[in-house]
Amino acid sequence: MTLFAHCADFPQKKAAMSEAEHILILLVLTVVGSLLVRAASNRVPLPLVQIVLGVAAALCGLKIGLRPDLFMLVFLPPLLFTDAFRMPLREFSELRGVILFLAFGLVVVSTVLCGYAIHWMLPAIGLAVCFTLAAALSPTDTVAVSSLIAGRRVSERLIHILNGEALFNDASGLVCFHFAMVAAMTGEFSYRHAFGSFVLVSFGGLAIGAGLSWLAVRAERILLRRGFDDPQMQVLMIVLLPFVIYEAAEKVHASGILAAVAGCMVVKLTGVADEAATATRLQAGTVLTTVSYVFNALIFLLLGLQLPWLLDAGVELAHQHSAKIWQLSLLVGEVYAIMLVIRFCGIWVSVLRRWIGARVHRRPFVFPRFLEVVLLSFSGVRGAVTLAAVLSLPAAAANAEAFPGRSFVITVAAGVIVVSLVLAAFAIPFCIHFLPRELADKHAQEENLARQRLLQAVLRLLRDEQNKTEKARTAVVDSGSGDHTDEDIRLEVLGRLAQTYDNRLSQTDGPTQTPIMSRTTALRRERIELAMRLVLLRLQRQTLHDLAEARDINDQTEWEIQRELDYEEQVIRGRVQRLPQDI
């Protein structure tokens, strides 16, 4: 079984070599795309660059087909697990009404309304086929949106809504897609049966994901208590967990997507990650970030690789029905506009529902700005899940008939994907430009408050220790019964630590800052100190390299000390990134 499709008449060894070459080419294109975006100062969204590279590679002769079933298995579990782990539980709880409405209610409404609208525009296309197309278009892809938002001052609330919606609407959209596809193939459909199956598949996936994760957490804690805390083994278990959960749910015809999301939520709620060794958390974070980066890049490259032949299929479809290319393009634009309007109205319905609830329970409520709703509407970008869904529609075979209107569904879906990505690339920055900057301040305020509390707790402990040590030193001096050198050294160390943390507290913004120096002076001092420490680190690295070149130390010693310097630099650069840019 291979992720990419190959010609059936290729010899097995040649096919295997082709598979390896394809993977290497895709990884090289991943690096090239990142370099191009950096060269353009991040002004162009990375997913769009990756799609263009995929199209260029396809035009140069690279042909890689896509296996939708293996695509879902290989890519979705780790990406959903990682995204769910980054979703803050507090915000998810606060916004659960909006998120679940968009992820489930809006998906069903979009499928029904858009399906009827397409059927009204094209009566020759069966209603079930129109529902299939609408259901495939209902899941959103936030990866492209995240790249457009990254580094901009956008409300954290909007980001959490988009990420939370994307966690669940893949599942709801694919379930609706399956029911519509079966109805189109068999000509039979029951709303009662569909609703019951929808509930069973959804709650079955949630239950399986939660149950397996709970068992995994129990096993993890047993291993930790018995000393099996090897970081490499622990990281491998973390990487394998979403695949196991997804496959187990799919085997019993439950939602593997919801199972992976629920599994991650259970892992977060149990707090087992905090019990792991520090090295495990650091390595797991690095591995998951790398996997997420590479897999997201591969998804958009594969999407770009499919577009040329999808365009050819669209041209052929237009010729078969004696239609013009512009007519097909107009149809794609109309379908996208319908989905956009439905999403825009659905967001306002969610806002009104929350407003009514706030009025009933006498809670404060702030209406979102119009541009925020527009931004959320254009953020409903369609991506690889939509493409994988339509490509999974049965094609004509010797022992099976093709899905009716398969070429039509694939062509329109591909067109909507491209249109949604391109328009979002222009609309989202436009909306962000006119949104007030203070919308993004809450997270910074919380981070500042947390740092204040941490530093205050440290200073209280240090001052208590100073008082205790001073009393012990006085007692020793008064009694004349011993040497008080240890107390003097301890007081000196405690004094230096207290001054260091006092300086850090003065850099935080708020009424609790210390009067030792102004915040501006403290921040400037911090910036100069961190810059000097980075210079000293570079000097140490160069000296270390010279020692290795002179064979005074071996490469193993160089690597061990280099790793210590890397950890130190990572901490310093993290502090540099948190410094205000205007001071």
What pLDDT score was predicted for residue 582? 54
% of the chain at pLDDT higher than 70: 88
Residue 16, pLDDT score: 47
pLDDT at position 511 over 70: no
Q: At residue 309, does pLDDT exceed 60?
A: yes
- pLDDT (average), residues 290-313: 87
CA 136 – CA 184 distance, rounded (Å):
14
Which CA distances in Å does 580 have to 18, 142, 520, 522, 523?
50, 28, 10, 12, 8
Domain boundaries, the chain: 12-435, 440-516, 523-583
Tell me the CA end-to-end span of the chain in Å, nearest whole number.
57
pLDDT given at position 522: 67
Question: Which of 7-11, 121-125, 146-150 is predicted with the least confidence, judged by mean pLDDT?
Answer: 7-11
Q: Which amino acid is at 88?
A: P
Q: What pLDDT sits at residue 562?
A: 84
Reported as a single tens digit per residue, the pLDDT across 349-364 is 988 888 888 778 777 7
Say whether 397 sits in a helix, a strand or coil: strand
Q: What angle do CA 422, 426, 430 make, to 5 degrees?
A: 160
**Of all helices (H) and strands (E), which one includes residue 101?**
none
CATH number listed for the domain at residues 12-435: 1.20.1530.20
pLDDT at 337: 95
pLDDT confidence of residue 28: 93
More confident residue, 566 or 437: 566
Q: pTM higher than 0.75 for the full model?
A: yes
Please state, as a whole number, how many other Cβ atoms lie within 10 Å of the Cβ of residue 388: 25
Q: In whole angstroms, what is the distance from residue 42 CA to residue 425 CA?
A: 13
What is the model's pLDDT at position 442? 63
The Cα–Cα gap between 248 and 77 comes to 12
What CA–CA distance (Å, rounded) separates 238 from 252?
Answer: 23
Average pLDDT, stretch 524-536? 81
Instruction: Give 241-305 as a 3 state SS string.
Output: HHHHHHHHHHHCCCCHHHHHHHHHHHHHHHCHHHHCCHHHHHHHHHHHHHHHHHHHHHHHHHHHH
**For residue 1, what pLDDT is reported?**
45
Q: How far is CA 146 from CA 156, 166, 211, 298, 435, in A?
A: 12, 12, 31, 16, 17
Mean pLDDT of all residues in the chain? 82
Lowest mean pLDDT among 2-11, 167-176, 189-198: 2-11
**Which segment, 6-15, 96-105, 179-188, 433-442, is predicted with the most confidence on average?**
96-105
Q: In whole angstroms, give the CA distance from residue 170 to residue 386.
A: 9
Query: Which residue would you say has higher pLDDT here, 80 or 9?
Result: 80
Average of pLDDT values for 275-279? Answer: 75
What is the pLDDT, as a whole number, of residue 325? Answer: 82
The model's confidence at residue 246, banded by pLDDT at 50, 70 and 90, is very high
Confidence (pLDDT) at 35: 92
User: Does the pLDDT at position 270 exceed 80?
Assistant: yes
pLDDT band at 13 (very low <50, low <70, confident <90, very high): very low
Q: How high is the pLDDT of residue 401?
A: 65
Q: Residue 272: its pLDDT value, please? A: 77
CB-based contact 372:153 (threshold 8 Å): no
φ/ψ (deg, to 5) at 397: -145, 175
Q: Which residue has the higher pLDDT, 412 or 64?
A: 412
Q: What pLDDT is recorded for position 10?
A: 38
Least confident span in 128-132, 333-337, 554-558: 554-558
Digit-coded pLDDT (tens) for 401-410: 677 888 888 8
**CA separation, residue 172 to residues 89, 283, 342, 347 (Å):** 21, 33, 17, 17
Q: Would you place residue 483 in the very low, low, confident or very high pLDDT band (cuts 50, 70, 90)?
A: low
**575 C-beta neighbours (distance < 10 Å), count:** 15
Element (H, E) at 19: helix 12-39
- pLDDT: which is higher, 114 or 456: 114
- Residue 8 in this model has a pLDDT that exceeds 50: no
3-class secondary structure per residue, 320-358: HCCCCHHHHHHHHHHHHHHHHHHHHHHHHHHHHHHHHHH
Q: What is the 3-state secondary structure (H, E, C) of 149-185?
A: HCCCCCCHHHHHHHHHHHHHHHHHHHHHHHHHHHHHH
Alpha-carbon gap, residue 482 to 494, rounded angstroms: 21
* Measured distance CA(493)–CA(79) in Å, rounded: 46
